[in-house]
Amino acid sequence: MDHENAQKFVASWLAAWNTHDLDGLLAHFAESVTFRSPVAAQLLGGDGVIHGKAALRAYWTEGLRRIPDLRFEVVAVYVGVDCLVINYRNQKGGLVNEVLVLDGELVTEGFGTYLDPGDNPAGAR
């Protein structure tokens, strides 16, 4: 992925999150996506690993239900060969990295990563 396409992807991703447009957000993800997040483990129980687009929708639907003021502000975007890292602040000011592995234009694997709250004065969650 080049930087121009990465910026377009992130702009669309951010707009979808900030308007809580799950269809727009999920349009970036493959049907067979795997997503890992410690927040998923907190919200849903289990190991925090989500398999498939339908399960990802269910996770994010529950997250938006529990966090109705959810909003992100992008801090930086890092581009790799077939991956992208979005560094952002959440609605609480916590720093988060979303690591996205792509096959073409679709995310096939994602990782939500968080600072230890002790390392982040605003709190990571």
Residue that is written with structure tokens 């997503």 in the block: 35
In the chain, the domains with their CATH numbers are: 3-115 (3.10.450.50)
pTM for the predicted model, two decimal places = 0.90
For the purposes of burial, counting CB atoms within 10 Å of the CB of 46, is it exposed (0-12), middle (13-18) or buried (19 or more)? exposed
Taking residues 31-50, what's their average pLDDT? 93
Which pLDDT band, with edges at 50, 70 and 90, does 48 fall under? very high
Averaged pLDDT score across all residues of the chain: 91
What are the pLDDT digits (tens) for 49-81? Answer: 999 999 999 999 999 999 999 999 999 999 999
Q: Give residue 30's pLDDT.
A: 98
Q: Which residues of 59-73 are buried (b: 16+ CB within 10 A; e: fewer)?
A: bbeebeeebeeeebe
Question: Any long-range contacts for 116-124 (C-beta under 8 Å, 24+ apart)?
Answer: 120/94, 120/95, 122/89, 122/92, 122/93, 122/94, 122/95, 123/92, 123/93, 123/94, 124/94, 124/95, 124/96
